[in-house]
Amino acid sequence: MPVPKKIPLRKCAATGEMKPKKEMIRIVRSKEGEVSVDPTGKKSGRGTYVSKTREAVETAKKKNVLARQLSAEVPSSIYDELLEFITKDEK
């Protein structure tokens, strides 16, 4: 009898919900302090996850959660990029 495969869960920085990693998008801060969106989830650096929903991204922006999580300044272009990824996924 095969053992069911464990689904990796991650916590959304904005909503605090635990969700499968595939339903999240990773934001990463490099050693140089550069913040970027990491759709592959493989970049090195300090990472945090946000649910792939418009509400989660807007909450993160409003509460400035990503800056706190990553201990770095998060440019608003990052939030725009996140929203682009989400709208692209919805299509």
Largest CA distance in the chain: 50
Contacts with 12 (C-beta within 8 Å, 6 or more apart), sequence order: 18, 19, 24, 49, 50, 51, 56
Site of tokens 């595939």: 22
What's the pLDDT band for 8 if we cut at 50, 70, 90? very high
Segments making up each domain of the chain, as ranges: 9-90
21 phi, psi to nearest 5 deg: -55, -35
- Convert the pLDDT of each residue in 33-84 to its tens digit: 999 999 888 999 999 999 999 999 999 999 999 999 999 999 999 999 999 9
What pLDDT is stored for residue 73 in this prediction? 92
What pLDDT is stored for residue 72 in this prediction? 92
Architecture per CATH, domain 9-90, reads as: 2-Layer Sandwich (3.30)
